[in-house]
Structure 1
Amino acid sequence: MTSASPDRLVVLTGADGRLGSRLAFRVAAAGGRQRLLVSGRGTAPRLPDGAPLPEAEVVAVPPEADRRALTSAFDGAYAVFLVPGSERTGRVGKHRAAIDAAVLAGVRHVVYVSSVGAAPDAVSSAARDDWLTEEYLRGTDLRWTMLRIAMFHRTLTFAVHDESYGSVRDTVLRAPAGAGRVATVSHDDVADVATAVLLDEDPKRHAGRTYHLTGPEALSLDEVAAVLSTAVGRSVRYVPQTVEQARSLFYRSTAGEVEDWISQCQAIEAGGLAAVSPDVRQLAGRQARSLETWLDDYPTEWAHLRLPSVR
């Protein structure tokens, strides 16, 4: 197990989120000192008996926090784990404010969760924003490490819907992804890699490195549907969508969330998320979890698929 230096404080943004909370448990298990920044959308991670994590300070930082508030939240930290904002509007500006705050607070190392395919002309809107954030971070004197992710296993489960046609019930995975393939990854695998990077005794080992975190295989969405069918015990079939159909299906989501989802699916169709990387295995010391393994190991993560109606 990775062990932490007691002299190094790490700050985890998004600690009340799915990825940040998993990382917090791992840092705690390694004996690390950490400050957990929570936005109020969730709750700070706690031990099974309800007790707070050891050596963990919890600080509430609202999404609209400015550079001054973030500088205070980062004060005394050796490293910051920076997760991207979920809202597209103003996302890059918030990322830059966090990076500026890290500089002002004297942080040494920033680990940023980015996107596979991040580039100025990326198909995915999130990947374009991540490229701008990466470039801004590269322009500072901070040590940096980029963790680029294709898509999480769990994301695809929320594109599955139960549909009824008279007495006929159909379960479908709808996405505007054509016949593309995607190498999805689990939150736990990313958290394991982040732990290894943040707590490494030689932080320079990861300075200036970009890691691509994927599962062990790239599946078409037809293959994803087949794997889901086995897990949920009923037939799930993939139905490609047009962009207009996707916008109609996710009308309850914000415009930015819909655009992120659609453009990510378009990146799948274009082949941009199909590459399989060995980085999880090399950094976590074990094979990345496949979608099939993840479904078997974490049934509560896709419990919504067992409901009579997914939506």
Structure 2
Amino acid sequence: MTAPDQLIGVTGASGALGGRVAARLATAGAAQRLVVRDAARAPQLGGAEVRAAPGGYADHAGLTEALAGVHTLLLVSAAESETRADEHRSAVAAAAAAGVAHVVYLSFLGAAADATFTLARDHDATEAAIRATGVPFTFLRDSLYADFVPGMVGADGVLRGPAGSGRVAPVARDDVADAAAAVLLDPATHAGATYDLTGPEALTLAEACAVMAQFSGLPLQYHAEELQEAFESRMGPDVADFEIDAWVTSYLAIREGELDIVSPAVRTLAGHEPLGLLEVLERRPGCLDHVTAR
């Protein structure tokens, strides 16, 4: 277990995932530092101190200062951008410079230099940067968040994407937070380990729509787009090319079977079964209110 004097750092603590982890650490009575861009947005948690790094991961000097004294760090992925891989490398270098003794990185399932999903390649680059520092690490490779699946459905009740009949086992953010907190509280046990965090069942997107239809009573359906159709449907004046590529290739990764993984890691780390898609929906009763099709 983490010694009482071993400070845990949590980046992204004002966000949905980092905030969940910080809350769990507070409940466990852990000493933690919440590292955020804006201190005013940090959650108010007992036993937690707050340090702001307004420049984010790209601000090597500011982040190094904010991480001084941190023993174990949860590195939450930065917002998706064309520079995210560089931002992550800057954050990793800052952690090493600050003397962080263990980095727990929230990566993505199937992270690899040749992954179909373009953002999974960025995660692979970040993992490589962490390994290169020589700092002990643990990689948590999340599947697609189950919490995001309802938002993939359009207002017309159709989930569109070129995933074909491929499968994915979406994972609840609550389960990721439980697993991450367990690792942060006992980092030495998990040094050098890589865990795939998934839900309990791999579903096609048609099956996911059926689950959401069962939950909501709405006539939801999946439309398996062709590749060109997928690119064209995402294009717009305010959409960057990297966003289109990421969106389309996330579906292609499902089609190619790269996310067809069901792992016991949530059970192993968190000590309970992972939530299924229906259970996640039941915790978010208004998650399909944007659908106007009736």
CA distance in 1, matches of 2:232, 2:77: 26
- 2:43 matches 1:59: no
Task: Look up the match of 2:155.
Answer: 162
- Give the number of equivalent residue pairs: 290
Q: Aligned to 1:126, what secondary structure does the other structure show?
A: helix
Deviation of residue 38 (structure 1)?
Answer: 2.1
Deviation of residue 64 (structure 1)?
Answer: 5.9
CA distance in 2, matches of 1:43, 1:233: 37
Deviation of residue 149 (structure 1)?
Answer: 1.2
**Alignment partner for residue 77 of structure 2, among 81, 84, 97?**
84
Deviation of residue 6 (structure 1)?
Answer: 2.6
Q: 2:109 touches 2:259 (CA, 8 Å); kept in 1? A: yes
- Equivalent residues in 2 for 1:194-205, closer than 5 Å: 194-200=180-186, 203-205=187-189
Structure 1 alignment gaps of length 5 or more: 46-51, 164-170
Aligned AA for 1:297?
Answer: R
% identical equivalent positions: 43
Task: Look up the match of 1:188.
Answer: 174
Against the structure 1 CA distance between its residues 257 and 229, is the aligned structure 2 distance closer, same or farther, given a 3 Å change threshold?
same
Task: Look up the match of 2:284.
Answer: 298
Task: Look up the match of 1:279.
Answer: 265
**Range with bigger deviation, 104-113 or 131-140:** 131-140
Q: CA RMSD in A?
A: 2.0
Q: Aligned to 2:70, what secondary structure does the other structure show?
A: coil
- 2:6 matches 1:8: yes
Q: Aligned to 1:58, what secondary structure does the other structure show?
A: strand
Deviation of residue 58 (structure 1)?
Answer: 2.3
Deviation of residue 63 (structure 1)?
Answer: 3.4
Deviation of residue 253 (structure 1)?
Answer: 4.1
Deviations 1:146-190 (A, max 9, x none): 000121012222221123xxxxxxx11112211111011000100
Q: 2:160 touches 2:224 (CA, 8 Å); kept in 1? A: yes
Q: Aligned to 1:216, what secondary structure does the other structure show?
A: coil
CA distance in 2, matches of 1:255, 1:5: 46
Task: Look up the match of 1:19.
Answer: 17
Q: Aligned to 2:95, what secondary structure does the other structure show?
A: helix
CA distance in 2, matches of 1:239, 1:41: 43
TM-score normalised over the length of structure 2: 0.92
CA distance in 2, matches of 1:290, 1:5: 34
Runs of 4 or more, structure 1, over 4 Å off, are none
Q: Aligned to 1:161, what secondary structure does the other structure show?
A: coil
TM-score normalised over the length of structure 1: 0.88
**Alignment partner for residue 207 of structure 1, among 180, 187, 191?**
191
**Alignment partner for residue 174 of structure 1, among 157, 160, 168?**
160
